[in-house]
Amino acid sequence: MMLRTHRSRTIRTGLHAVLLCLALPLVTPTSAMAQGATVAQPTKAMKDEAATRFKKGLELFKEADYVAALVEFRRAYELVPSWQVLYNIGQVQYQLQDYANSLQSLERYLAEGGRQVPATRRSEVENDLQTLKGRIAFVEITVNVPDAEIVVDDTLVGTSPLGKALTVNAGRRRVGVSREGYQPQTRVVEVASGDTAKASFELLERGAATPATPAPGADSEGDGDASSGRARATAQVDGNSSSRVPWIGWGITGGLAAGAAVFGVLALGASSDLQDLRGTRGVSAADLSAASSKATTMSVVTDALAGAALIAGGVSLYFTLRTPPSDSAGNARASSPGLQLGISPRGAQLVGSF
C-alpha cells in the first residue's frame, strides 16, 4: 500500500514537468530526432490537444483509473512524442502490473532522455528496472509459415518469423497465431520469471483435414484403418436409419387399430340407438333416417380404419422381416434360420422356422 502511495506522488511530479514541456513552442527531441531523422513538428493544435489529454490522464490517475489514464498518456505521446512522456507511461504500466511493457517504456525513457534525465530520477528508474527484470519472462515462438500474426494476451506483438524471444509478464500467457487462408491456433503458455518457454505452431491450410487423435487404448493403423472406421460409422448410421422404418410402420398400425376400436364402439352405440328408436312408437321417419345414417357412417369408418390397420400391419411385418440384423445381433442370429413372407393371389404366407 505504501508503494502505491509513493508512486502516485512520484508520477504526479513527473507529469507536471512534462506538461510544461508540451506548452513550449518546440518539444525536446527524441532519439530519432537527435540522430538527424526528419520528423514532422507538431502543430499548435496538436500540442494543445496533447496538453489536454495529459491533464485528463492526471485526473484519471488520481482516481486510480489506470487503464483510462494510460490511454490518454499514449494518445498525448502520439501527438507530441516527447521522451518525458515515456516515464509517465512506464509508471502507469507498473501500476497495472504490466511489467514487460513497463520495462520497455522506462528503458526507452533513459535511453532517449540521455543526460537530460535528472540524476535522482535516473537512480529511481534504474531501481525500478531491477525490480521489473525479476518479474518478466521470455517466450520463443516459431511458426511454420511466414507473415503469420502473433498475439499475446489479445495484443498483436508481431509477425512470423520473430527475430528474438518475446519479453512477457511471468505467469500464464495466451498465445495465438493466425494467417489468412490458414486455421488459427491458440494455446496457453506458462512461464516462470527469468525462464524462457518455447511455443511452436504448425498452421494448416483451411480445408485441410485435421489429424485425428486416437482415443486412449484405440488401435492406430494408419489411413486405412481411419477410412474403415469412417466406413463403419457410415454403415452404422445407415443401419440405424433402416431399423427405424419398422418402428414407424408399427406405430401407424397401432394408431389405426386404436382408431378402429374407438369408432367400432361408437358404431355399436349408434346401432343400439337405432334399434331402440325402431321399437319406440311415435318416432318420426326423419329421426330414424338420421340414426340409421349415423350408424352406417360409424360402421364404414370402423371398417376403413380396420382395413388400413391390417394393410399397415402387413407392410410393417414385411419390413421387419426384411431388415438386416445389426452387427451385434447378427453374430448371435447367424445360426438361426430366417423367415420369409410370401404374397400370392390367395393371400400372404409366412414361411420359416423358429
Q: Tell me: the pLDDT tens digits for 138-192?
A: 999 999 999 999 999 999 999 999 999 999 999 999 999 999 999 999 999 999 9
State the maximum Cα–Cα separation within the chain, in Å, rounded to a whole number: 130
The pLDDT, as a whole number, for residue 190 is: 96
Cis peptide before 161 (omega within 30 of 0): yes
Residue among 162, 7, 10 nearest 97 (CA): 7
Does the structure show a pLDDT above 90 at 234? no
Mean pLDDT of the chain: 77
The pLDDT, as a whole number, for residue 244 is: 52
pLDDT tens digits for 308-326? 888 988 887 877 777 655 5
Distance CA 173, CA 152 (A): 7
State mean pLDDT over 1-7.
40
The pLDDT, as a whole number, for residue 275 is: 80
Lowest model confidence (mean pLDDT) among 6-20, 91-105, 270-284: 6-20
pLDDT tens digits for 342-351? 555 455 555 5
Residues 316 and 307 sit within 8 Å (Cβ to Cβ) = no
pLDDT tens digits for 40-71? 789 999 999 999 999 999 899 999 999 999 99
The pLDDT, as a whole number, for residue 212 is: 57
Question: Which residues are CB-contacts of 152 (< 8 A; sequence separation ≥ 6)?
Answer: 139, 166, 168, 173, 174, 175, 176
Q: Which residue has the cell 514541456?
A: 21
What residue spans of the chain are helical by DSSP H? 2-22, 31-34, 44-62, 66-79, 83-95, 99-113, 119-133, 223-278, 285-322, 327-333
pLDDT tens digits for 90-128? 999 999 999 999 999 999 999 999 999 999 999 999 999
Grid cell for residue 87: 516515464
Residue 75 sits at the vertex; the CA angle it makes with 70 and 80, to the nearest 5 degrees, is: 125
Say what the pTM is: 0.52
Q: Which long-range contacts (CB under 8 A, 24 or more apart) does 287-294 make?
A: 294/270
Higher-confidence residue of 328 and 145: namely: 145
DSSP conformational letter for 205: B
Dihedral sign computed on CA atoms, order 146, 148, 151, 155: positive
Mapped to the 3 state alphabet, what secondary structure does 24-81 carry? CCCCCCCHHHHCCCCCCCCCHHHHHHHHHHHHHHHHHHHCCCHHHHHHHHHHHHHHCC
Mapped to the 3 state alphabet, what secondary structure does 233-251 carry? HHHHHHHHHHHHHHHHHHH
Q: How confident is the model at residue 288 (pLDDT cuts 50, 70, 90)?
A: confident
Integer angstrom CA distances of residue 329 from 92, 316, 326, 333, 351: 71, 20, 5, 6, 22
Q: What is the percent of the chain where pLDDT is above 70?
A: 69
Size of the chain, expressed as the number of residues it contains: 354
Q: Which residue has the cell 503458455?
A: 189
